[in-house]
Homo-oligomer: A and B are copies of this chain.
Amino acid sequence: MALIEIRNLWKEYGQQVVLEQLNKTVGEGEFITIVGASGCGKTTFLKMLLGTESVSRGQLLLDGKPLPGEPGPERGIVFQRYSVFPHLSVLGNVMLSLELEKSPLLGRLFGGARKTAEKLAKEMIDAVGLGQAMHKYPHELSGGMQQRLALAQSLIKRPRILLLDEPFGALDPGIRADMHQLVLSLWQEHKLTVFMITHDIKEGFYLGTRLWVFDKCRFDPQAPNAYGAQITYDLPVGQTDGHLLKKSPPRAAEKVPPPLPDKYRRNLWNQVFTNIPCPARVIGLCVCGVGFV
């Protein structure tokens, strides 16, 4: 059965339509990367999956039932920012979810139970390369270090669904690659379902099993808020890495995306092709060439 079903979903803020007519099905264990123009509603979509934004029209189903309208432990998140607790050290931040689980009353562990939790947390902290900063507070960390901490905090619980909002934006390529490995290995091991927003198209292609492009197909210059964004492309990706494809779950059959209307203003892919030199184009050609070039 599909894990998540999106049926004719709309999201409006007052007069402004942000998202319109989304229809998708996502199976357990898929890794969906989301790209799209700034301000087109990607974060909003993630918030709906999280349960903190309400659905304006349509349905959002988890396991066939309406998605709970509040966040819960089965859905982890890494926000664009504000994602860690300023009053806890690195270790405290990562241990938090373990403590919450084991100690319903105080939310704190002591003695042996604490030792165990600490050990688990330390492993995860080492995995994100913060071993040196174990006892520092977030304000003592650089932006990239905070982001890694947020990641560690979310990953230690192995949530069924992991929502990532530009998690690697502030990381340098070296550490970013480490993080990619970490997320991928946990994803494979625990059959997580991941939704990840990124602005790095390469990352989108490289990490995901499926790449969604959010964009406005309809645009009325007189009333720029009248139409919302849709998922204009849903591409099977990940072929660059054979081993990923091998292990990724069978993908629901999807329609071939329609040819690209070449008049709409901020065409993401147009920009990519015009401005970024060879690399992206190379990938674009080889991976999704079938689609629309």
Q: Which residues of A contact B (CB under 8 A)?
A: 35-39, 43, 80-81, 129, 132, 141-145, 148, 166, 169-178, 180-181, 199-202, 206, 224, 240, 266-268, 270-272, 274-280, 282-283
Partner of A39, one of B39, B145, B275: B145
Of B144, B177, B274, B279, which contacts A279 at CB under 8 A? Answer: B279
Which B residues lie within 8 Å of A144 (CB)? 38-39, 199
Would you mind naming 17 contact pairs between A and B with Cβ atoms under 8 Å apart? A35-B173, A39-B141, A43-B142, A80-B143, A81-B81, A129-B266, A144-B199, A169-B199, A170-B199, A171-B199, A173-B271, A173-B276, A177-B272, A177-B274, A178-B271, A277-B283, A278-B282
For A206, what are the chain B residues with a Cβ–Cβ distance below 8 Å? Answer: 277
Asked if A175 contacts B38 (CB within 8 A), the reply is: yes
Copies in the complex: 2
A279 near B283: Cβ-Cβ < 8 Å? yes
**A170–B169 Cα gap in the complex (Å)?**
7
Closest to A130 in B: B39
Other than the given A38-B170, A174-B272, 9 more pairs (CB < 8 A) read A38-B143, A38-B148, A129-B266, A173-B201, A173-B268, A173-B271, A173-B272, A174-B266, A180-B275
Interface centre among A39, A176, A206, A279 (most CB of B within 10 A): A39
Considering the complex, give the chain B residue whose CB is closest to the CB of A267.
B174
Which residues in B have their C-beta under 8 angstroms from that of A176? 199
Q: How far is the CB of A12 from chain B (nearest CB, A)?
A: 15
Q: Flag if B202 contacts A276 (CB, 8 Å).
A: yes
| Chain B residues near A282 (CB-CB < 8 A) | 278-279
